[in-house]
Amino acid sequence: MLVPGKAWMAACARHDARAAAGTMRGSKPMTGETGMTAISNWPIRQGRDTDGPGIIALIASCWARYPGIRMDVDGEMPELHTLATYYSQQDGALWIAGTDSRVAGMIATRPLDSGTWEICRVYVDPALHGAGLGHALLDHAERHAIAAGAQCLTLWSDTRFGRAHRFYEKRSYLRHGPVRVLADISNSLEFGYAKPVNGLELLDIAAATAAAARLADILVACVQTSASLEFLPPLAAGKARAFWHQIAADVGAGRRALAVGWRDGVLLAAGLLDLATPETQRHRAIVRLVMVHPEARRAGLGRQVLRRLEQAAVAHGRTLLTLETRAGDPEEPFFQAEGWTEAGRIPDAISGAEASAHAAVVFWKRAG
């Protein structure tokens, strides 16, 4: 789960069906011919109650890929017969991707409370996985919820649906809250996922693990545009993922604090605070990293992340903060503008991509 913040305190109502074994690709919709053709062949429209048989067939085809999952429509999910009415009665909406004769994909959303909307029943025909249809459906539902005032988006997904989990994590959803027990004929357990539309949060180990793939993508992009971080370009994706998995372990052990930020529902920024200082320096914490995706810079996210780390340091009883950055980089005046004081410079402390060396600037700041 995420470390509780006001956007994450909204209660999540019980979802009466498993979230989908959804669709998989990268963090952005496919633009190749195959993906575009698949999407154009299956236009998205408002769902109708008459879609019931097609909806049931679609869900059955998705669940058939997972041994042990059983389907009892009349006993456990009678609303599937009139699903459009079911969601409209809750001020929600249902969309179908397909034709009058075939349902190829589906998604629904409904309001819960306090600006929180739930994404429900994300399913795509297994034969169309990887074609971009799941992203198109989720775009549809997210836009609707945000236009209706959603500040936080949540969903549930069966613990067996690993493919769906990777899809949601690429879409900036992170693990949130305890595992839910449905007590159904399939003995289903569900992971909760959530994300704010805009905002910052401190992550616990479950959320940090879920964020690893997305954070790796951001880190690779940042290293490619600047060598002032801990890595030299080009940074391999596997190495970046391993780095963030280790960070998640450190978060779980209390050695680090990890703050991340979203803009328009996309995770775009992160910061690391090192709490594992020697026993003679328990009053100190070290800002190890502040990164913002290159496409989202100069919009205030980096400043927000840094300030969130400073707040985290105070919450851990730290009164002195330090950090290092490469001399001459844009980060140097950035930290100065945030009230950090230069303590000195270390010549040739940071290696560049072409065997060059750069000075490191050491900054400090009182916390609290």
pLDDT of res. 206: 98
Residue 96: C-alpha distances to residues 27, 35, 80, 134, 247 (Å)? 22, 18, 13, 11, 40
- Name the phi and psi angles at 71, rounded to 5: -120, 120
Lookup: tokens for 235: 């940074």
Give 268-279 pLDDT, tens digit per residue: 999 999 999 999
Q: How far apart are CA 7 and CA 153, in angstroms?
A: 10
Give 6-64 pLDDT, tens digit per residue: 344 333 333 333 433 333 233 443 333 345 556 788 999 999 999 999 999 999 999 99
pLDDT of res. 22: 36
Percent of the chain at pLDDT exceeding 90: 83
**Which is nearest to 258 in space by CA: 237, 279, 274?**
274
Contacts 24+ apart (CB under 8 A), 227-233: 227/326, 227/350, 227/352, 227/353, 228/325, 228/326, 228/329, 228/331, 228/350, 229/289, 229/291, 230/288, 230/289, 232/351, 232/352, 232/353, 233/353
Span 208-215, average pLDDT = 98
**Which is nearest to 87 in space by CA: 151, 152, 144?**
144
Q: How far apart are CA 132 and CA 274, in angstroms?
A: 39
- Name the phi and psi angles at 104, rounded to 5: -95, -20
350 touches 232 (CB < 8 A): no
What is the CA 236 to chain-centroid distance, rounded?
21
Count of helix runs (H) and strand runs (E) in the chain:
10, 15
Is 60 exceeded by the pLDDT of residue 315?
yes
Q: Tell me, which fold does domain 200-366 have in CATH?
A: Aminopeptidase (3.40.630)
Q: How far apart are CA 310 and CA 132, in angstroms?
A: 40
What is the CA 135 to chain-centroid distance, rounded?
14
pLDDT of res. 106: 98
The DSSP secondary-structure symbol of 113 reads: S
Give 118-151 pLDDT, tens digit per residue: 999 999 999 999 999 999 999 999 999 999 999 9
How does residue 210 score in pLDDT terms, banded at 50, 70 and 90?
A: very high
Q: Which parts of the chain fold into alpha helices (H)?
A: 33-41, 52-63, 73-76, 83-88, 133-147, 162-170, 205-225, 237-252, 301-315, 331-337
Rounded to 10 deg, the angle between the 33-41 and 133-147 helix axes is 60
Q: How far apart are CA 227 and CA 300, in angstroms?
A: 21
Identify the bridge partners of residue 200 per DSSP, sorted by sequence position. 261
Q: Do domains 6-195 and 200-366 have the same CATH topology?
A: yes
254: left (phi over 0), alpha (psi -120 to 50) or beta: left
Q: What three-state secondary structure class fits 275?
A: coil
Is 60 exceeded by the pLDDT of residue 154?
yes
Domain boundaries, the chain: 6-195, 200-366
Supply the mean pLDDT for the chain: 90
How does residue 297 score in pLDDT terms, banded at 50, 70 and 90?
A: very high
Give 83-118 pLDDT, tens digit per residue: 999 999 999 999 999 998 999 999 999 999 889 999
Lookup: tokens for 357: 């060396």
Q: Is the peptide bond before 234 cis (omega within 30 degrees of 0)?
A: yes
130 touches 23 (CB < 8 A): yes
pLDDT of res. 33: 36
- CATH 3.40.630.30 for domain 6-195: yes
Q: Which parts of 130-236 fold into alpha helices (H)?
A: 133-147, 162-170, 205-225
